[in-house]
Amino acid sequence: MARPRNGAGHHYAHVVGWGVAVPEQVMTNADIERLVETNDKWIRDRTGIAERRIADERDTAATLGARAARKALYNADILPRDVDLIVVATSSPEYFFPSTASLIQDRIGATRAAGFDLLAACTGFIYALDMATAKIKCGQIETAIVIGTEVMSRVLDWSDRSTCILFGDGAGAFVLKANDMPGGVMETVLHSDGSGSNLLTVGTGMRPVWNGQHGPQHVEMNGREVFRFATRVMASATEEVVELAGCSMGDVDLIVPHQANLRIIQAAARSLRMQPEQFVVNLDRYGNTSAASIPIAVAEAAEEGRIRPNQTIVLVGFGAGLTWGATLIEWAVKPTPATAIRDVVREGQIIFGAIQSFWRRVFRYIGSALFRPPARLYGETFRRWTKRQNTKRKDGSQEDEQ
């Protein structure tokens, strides 16, 4: 995977492309009113959410993540075969293994890339961005895709009005690239406090049995405590990363917070003494998409021209764990518009990757069918083993009789 550079040179990790994939199905607050006892006014007043996207039965964290990654590659004019590493932050994967990163790698034709998943709930994207940035800065890799992707609708209890109103599905991706020009992802702070792990959970069904059950496999949350924690750490993590980068709050142009609740964002703005307009907010349209919320918000702000070169932006997240963290980015590189030829090559590599993957599966299937010992041999071996056990038992009982 890696193209070692012997750690030479001063490498910076720049965000050179971004992409978003959200499901088409829109679920409004009015739709939720038909599921649980709630109302549009309560949801808007307490959270700021008006609607969210819900994946249809064909979509998963991998399909949404792959769509976002393809758009990010297109935006960055990077070819799939040039990707060294894929890091995926998700709390709603299709499988425990294989990783969502492996599934996405296969779907986008990134045949040279390594990939792994990372779980830090809603802070996952900040953690993932830091992991990929570190690999670039130490010179081990040149190009990474960092993805936050979720189908939270599959881990919700749709009869619990205190949680099902909050979440939505979607994916966002960044392409990170090594560059000697100062800027890009400058500093990150990451935190975890496991003493609050009980405040926000989704079980896997593998906890020790208690009361005859392995525990629920949907979101359970102590909303008030999470709210209190979130308002505190959004401001503290932002100040911490700004100080670490040697900047002051006055240098920060824009903050992209985790999109959980408008009141949490407003409280953070007050405590940081920043204008509400300096915060990117899109939770009214998507709800809380967990690890996907920050990259979706960044991508939309960049598309709208709210994020521009030479700006200093802070991404700040919090979530289950409890986890929280912030990243300071000096937005420096303008995306290079792709030429038509490069587009054809990119699509070609994706198609080639799919064909290669198909034939590898076919060959594996044929190979295992040809070289598998016939079933009757297993049957014969088992018969011989049973016969031996019976003979031993008979001999033993004859000796006992004598």
- 107: buried, middle or exposed (CB in 10 Å: 19+, 13-18, 0-12)? buried
Stretch of residues binding ligand ACO (CB under 6 A), selected from 72-80, 169-177, 220-228, 350-358: 220-228
- Joined tokens for residue 240: 């911490």
3-state class (DSSP) for residue 201: strand
User: How far apart are CB 224 and ligand ACO at their closest, in Å?
Assistant: 5
Residue 288 binds ligand ACO (CB under 6 A): yes
Contact 94/155 with Cβ under 8 angstroms?
no
Residue 319 binds ligand ACO (CB under 6 A): yes
Tell me which residue has tokens 């959270």.
Answer: 47
121 DSSP 8-state letter: G
- The residue (of 166 and 176) whose beta carbon lies closer to ligand ACO is 166
Contact 54/153 with Cβ under 8 angstroms?
yes
- Joined tokens for residue 134: 């570190």
User: How far apart are CB 19 and ligand ACO at their closest, in Å?
Assistant: 22
User: How far apart are CB 106 and ligand ACO at their closest, in Å?
Assistant: 28
Q: What is the C-alpha to C-alpha distance for residues 342 and 262, in angstroms, rounded to an integer? A: 41
Residue 227 binds ligand ACO (CB under 6 A): yes
Catalytic entry in 11, 29, 75, 122:
122
- Joined tokens for residue 189: 């702070």
Contact 229/196 with Cβ under 8 angstroms?
yes
Catalytic entry in 75, 179, 261, 288:
288
The amino acid sitting at 45 is: D
Cβ neighbours of 143 (radius 10 Å): 24
Site mask for ligand ACO (CB under 6 A), range 150-189, x = bound: -----------xx--x------------------------
Residue 116 binds ligand ACO (CB under 6 A): no
User: How far apart are CB 41 and ligand ACO at their closest, in Å?
Assistant: 9
- The residue (of 5 and 228) whose beta carbon lies closer to ligand ACO is 228
- The residue (of 126 and 178) whose beta carbon lies closer to ligand ACO is 126
Side-by-side strand order, sheet with 143-151: 12-21, 169-179, 143-151, 85-89, 114-118
Rounded-to-5 percentages of helix, strand, coil across the chain: 45, 20, 30
Query: b vs e for 43-58, b when ≥16 Cβ sit within 10 Å of the residue's Cβ?
Result: beebbbbbbbbbbeee
Residue nearest to ligand ACO (CB): 319
- Joined tokens for residue 249: 């709050």
Stretch of residues binding ligand ACO (CB under 6 A), selected from 170-178, 221-229, 273-281, 344-352: 221-229
User: How far apart are CB 307 and ligand ACO at their closest, in Å?
Assistant: 23
User: How far apart are CB 354 and ligand ACO at their closest, in Å?
Assistant: 33
373 DSSP 8-state letter: P
User: How far apart are CB 168 and ligand ACO at their closest, in Å?
Assistant: 11
Q: Which of residues 44-63 bind ligand ACO (CB under 6 A)?
A: 46-47
Residue 352 binds ligand ACO (CB under 6 A): no
The kind and range of the H/E element at 162 are helix 161-164
Q: What is the C-alpha to C-alpha distance for residues 290 and 171, in angstroms, rounded to an integer? A: 10
Q: How many residues make contact with ligand ACO (CB under 6 A)? A: 22
Residue 42 binds ligand ACO (CB under 6 A): yes
Q: How far is CA 45 from the centre of its chain?
A: 28
Q: Which of 22, 73, 85, 122 binds ligand ACO (CB under 6 A)?
A: 122
Q: Is 258 a catalytic residue?
A: yes
Site mask for ligand ACO (CB under 6 A), range 62-101, x = bound: ----------------------------------------
- Whose CA is closest to 294, among 326, 322, 269, 267? 326
Residue 333 binds ligand ACO (CB under 6 A): no
Known catalytic residues? 122, 258, 288
Give the residues lining the site for ligand ACO (CB under 6 A).
Answer: 38, 42, 46-47, 121-122, 161-162, 165, 200, 221, 223-224, 226-227, 230, 260-261, 288, 290, 319-320
